[in-house]
Structure 1
Amino acid sequence: MTPFVYTGHPVRVVFGSGTIQTIPEEAERLGLSRVLIVTSRSQAATSAAVAAALGSRGVGVFPGAVMHTPVGVTETAMRLVAETGADGVVAIGGGSVTGLGKAIAVRTDLPQIVVPTTYAGSEMSPILGETKDGQKVTQSSEKIRPEVVVYDVALTLDLPPSISGTSGINAMAHAVEALYAVDRNPIVELMALEAIGALFRALPQVVHDPKDREARTAALYGAWLSGVCLGSVSMALHHKLCHTLGGSFDLPHAETHTIVLPHAVATNAPAVPDVMARLRGVLGTDDPAGALFDLAGRVGARRALRDIGMAESGIDLATERALARPYPNPRPLDRDTVRALIARAFAGEPPLSV
């Protein structure tokens, strides 16, 4: 066996249905007495219910989280943190809300309770991506990693099918890249394969019948495991490209991941035959990249960057920014390779190993 290092991270996970009711208990366990809820406007009803349940422990709700965690929004939220004297944060929503909670935590080291309502998976990681002046910059710190994550299947039942599909594939991307991470290990590999299989089977059924609790449970389980992968090992080409594209052109996060993933897998495939063999097994196909491209079609997702707001003139800019700073990747990258990947993703063409 290849030598490896594995570090278990101390995030408390509460998983089930109706688990949102445990938030006051979790706040008490953390010793919190002045809790600020951060959320988005789409989660107004859920946030109001949690605020009511917190009672005197709750000091306010900030509903202004938006995509890509703009620094300006975080600064507005920080003013409310100061005004209320908050000693902890409850983040209720998707990846954008989780990002805002993390942005507050890295500036204050306040404890976080995160309640995901999508399949983003970022709630399990110590990684924060923030956008300023048209560029998205990531950082990693243990201050960013939440203390508690509460997964409530019931909160996902009303997640629209279109968002469910792309959010789930976004989560799969974390698990896929964990398989060929420079610091991969057999424990994370087991979790990654389990996550990929769970999501690959569940997402089409979730889109077909959004109220299917069994499928929703499997998808949320897969998203949790994918998040553990994201928070345990390094990411590579796929995540670098998605951060570059999202931050540069303000593209929707999950949709960008959904479009890019098959192309990133195809590009790295020649360098990781062992990983491709594992993916063939869990996906039940000889063409993992093609299966991921087909999955996007099965869940009704758009498969071209041009269809989600990117201009063709951005291909060269994205290529330059993606190569501007070196990062670990199983295959050495050059301008022609990266540009060809982005161009195929832009046009919505099937993935092709190059």
Structure 2
Amino acid sequence: MRFDHETLGQRVRFASGQARESLAAEIDLLGASRVMVIAGQDERELADAVTADLPVVVHHDEVVMHVPADVADRAREVAAQHRVDLLVSVGGGSTTGLAKAVALTSGVPIVAVPTTYAGSEATNVWGMTESSKKTTGVDDRVLPRTVVYDASLMLSLPTGMSIASGLNALAHCVDSMWAPRADPINAALAGEGIRALNRGLPAILDDPRGLDGRERALYGAYLSAVAFASAGSGLHHKICHVLGGMFDLPHAQTHAVVLPHVLAFNVPTAPGAGERLATAFGSDTAVAGLAALRERVDAPKALRDYGMQESGIEPAARAVVEAAPADNPTPVTVDNITALLHAAWEGAEPR
């Protein structure tokens, strides 16, 4: 056994119903005195409640999916004008992504308070979109110093969005099995993440106001993100970045739709990863395990349901081939990626 593994330095405070207290303790520990709260308009009331005890100098609510470059620039200007020394993001992946865009150029640290299962809060990966192209990168300045997890903040997240967001987290686990820096530690984290999400997501569906399913899913989402941060971005994420940037598709739903197709595409040439995934799902095969979960939670099925046009498949396939990892288990060609995208577009069974 031989591998190189890097573990990112980050504190995690995980306690349901304690976000306000956890945040206050963290800000006191960090010694911040000029806090910028980043939260979309839909999250403003929640953000006000959990940041009530903080020295907030400005609230910023221009949060846009995929972090357009001009939106990032305006947030950076606000942070500079108010001389902020800490960013507190309260929201999903788009909110965390905007905070990362500010931190990338300013070096101001982030404390993230997630309200979805996106996982961005546990990675040092940033992404921004300009001219219909999403660019991503890795920089330790964007890794939140601390993550405050509070499953009670997820109770108002609609069930459908909870499922899509949780499947996005599951995609981090699957991609971590064969991403460019995949290693046994990533596989262990990803396997435990799958087990937690495989139990948590059905529990959310059965009892949307219960904490048990929410906590399991949140725990699984964190593990998935830690695995992904170390393993890097595999084929699944390259596909979703292309689709999100080109067609402005909803992030979580896109991941949920594409995931089974990438799994079916790679498993035949990655039998070791397939066995680990099958074990994590508690199924005979990885494909069957994911299919059973998706059927149980009524997962999103087709990209066309979210506004993608069939005419976009060909240019997207070419862009994916250019971005795909060179060491993906199954060799990537325009033809086989076109077939994969077409199946995902129409909601066909994974091939």
Instruction: Give the TM-score normalised by structure 2.
Output: 0.96
Contact 1:293 1:351 in 2 (8 A): no
Alignment of 1:245-284 (within 5 A): 245-284=243-282
Deviation at 1:290, TM superposition (A): 4.1
**Counterparts in 2 of 1:15 and 1:67: CA distance versus 1, 3 Å:** same
Provide the alpha-carbon RMSD of the alignment.
1.3
- The residue number in structure 1 matching 2:3 is 4
- Worse-matched range after superposition: 215-224 or 200-209: 200-209
- The residue number in structure 2 matching 1:298 is 296
Are 1:136 and 2:134 counterparts? Answer: yes
Counting matched residue pairs gives 349
Deviation at 1:348, TM superposition (A): 0.2
Deviation at 1:26, TM superposition (A): 0.8
- The residue number in structure 1 matching 2:17 is 18
Q: Partner of 1:60: helix, strand, or coil?
A: strand
Contact 2:178 2:329 in 1 (8 A): yes
Q: Partner of 2:140: helix, strand, or coil?
A: coil
Contact 1:39 1:97 in 2 (8 A): yes
Matching residue within 56, 59, 72 for 1:58: 56
- Worse-matched range after superposition: 28-37 or 280-289: 280-289
- The residue number in structure 2 matching 1:38 is 38
CA distance in 1, matches of 2:86, 2:159: 32
Deviation at 1:345, TM superposition (A): 0.3
Q: Partner of 2:301: helix, strand, or coil?
A: coil
Contact 1:245 1:318 in 2 (8 A): yes
- The residue number in structure 2 matching 1:167 is 165
Q: Give ranges in structure 2 of 5+ residues lacking alignment.
A: none
CA distance in 2, matches of 1:338, 1:188: 26
- The residue number in structure 1 matching 2:230 is 232
Deviations 1:189-247 (CA, angstroms, capped at 9, x unpaired): 11110000110111012022111211111111001101111211112110000000011
Deviation at 1:119, TM superposition (A): 0.4
CA distance in 2, matches of 1:243, 1:146: 21
Are 1:340 and 2:342 counterparts? Answer: no
- The residue number in structure 1 matching 2:207 is 209
- Worse-matched range after superposition: 295-304 or 239-248: 295-304
Q: Partner of 2:52: helix, strand, or coil?
A: helix
Alignment of 1:315-326 (within 5 A): 315-326=313-324
Percent identity for Structure 1 against Structure 2? 41
Deviations 1:80-127 (CA, angstroms, capped at 9, x unpaired): 112211111000000010100111110101010000010001111111
Deviations 1:19-58 (CA, angstroms, capped at 9, x unpaired): 312212211212211010001111111211234211xx21
AA of the residue aligned to 1:65: V
Contact 1:47 1:61 in 2 (8 A): no
Q: Give ranges in structure 1 of 5+ residues lacking alignment.
A: none
CA distance in 2, matches of 1:295, 1:76: 41
Contact 1:293 1:350 in 2 (8 A): no
**Counterparts in 2 of 1:294 and 1:251: CA distance versus 1, 3 Å:** farther
AA of the residue aligned to 1:42: D
Q: Partner of 2:208: helix, strand, or coil?
A: coil
